[in-house]
Amino acid sequence: MYKLAFDQKKMIIVVAIIVLFLVLGGIALVTTGAFTPGLAVSISSFQTDKDLYHSNEIMKIQVNLSSKSNLDDTDVAVHGIKDRYGDLHLNKNSTLNLISGSNTVIFEYELPTCSRCTGIDPGDYPLNLTITRNGVQLTSGEHIVRLEQ
């Protein structure tokens, strides 16, 4: 009987230690931002004012986001228009304090000259959207635009 009681005490101590590690590990994840419940952000829309653009036109890019909570220091980035040399010509970034609900950010970008000399041929080009916070990507999206001379 004494042996059984001693083994039960050891088991309770082992279980208590495991629970303690799990709780402390969970607290560490939440306080470092590695795991933060409720950080859901979704892209309601990612669009441009037109689908077809010509050299040196102004492109208006609108991003509508929906957030489940207030999120300070959230980075919204749009990149695209890659030339044949691999260089991105569109690099727009904005750091926002998202509010719970709908959020909108608008970027304006003057398109480069569409020609063989600049390495930008007529055609379809993807625009890539990424939403990050504390170095963690929350969501991403893509929109295609067509460039002509």
Residues 75 and 9 in one domain: no
- From 111, 112, 76, 115, select the one nearest 96 (Cα to Cα): 76
Q: Quick one: average pLDDT of 4-14? A: 66
Residues 22 and 71 in one domain: no
Residues 17 and 65 in one domain: no
Q: DSSP assignment of 37-89, as one string?
A: TT--EEEEEEEES-SEEETTPEEEEEEEEEESS-EEEEEEEEEEEE-TTS-EE
pLDDT at position 22, please? 63
pLDDT at position 18, please? 73
Least confident residue range of 9-13, 124-128, 134-138 = 9-13
Residues 47 and 23 in one domain: no
Residues 8 and 48 in one domain: no
Residues 62 and 27 in one domain: no
State both tokens at 51: 């689908």
Give the pairing of strands 41-48 and 123-133: unpaired
Q: Which residue has the higher pLDDT, 6 or 102?
A: 102
Q: What is the pLDDT of residues 32-88, one digit of tens each?
A: 344 444 468 999 999 999 999 999 999 999 999 999 999 999 999 999 999 999 999
Q: Quick one: average pLDDT of 108-120? A: 87
On average, the pLDDT of the chain sits at 85
State both tokens at 80: 């695209």
Q: What is the pLDDT of residues 128-145, one digit of tens each?
A: 999 999 999 999 999 999
Residues 72 and 30 in one domain: no
Give the rounded distance of the alpha carbon of 114 from its chain centre.
Answer: 29
Residues 141 and 121 in one domain: yes
**Based on the structure, what is the number of domains in the chain?**
2
pLDDT at position 58, please? 97
CATH, residue 114: 2.60.40.10
Residue 100 clears pLDDT 50, i.e. is over it: yes
State both tokens at 76: 């919204």
Residues 129 and 64 in one domain: yes
Look up the domain containing 58 and give its range: 41-148
pLDDT at position 51, please? 95
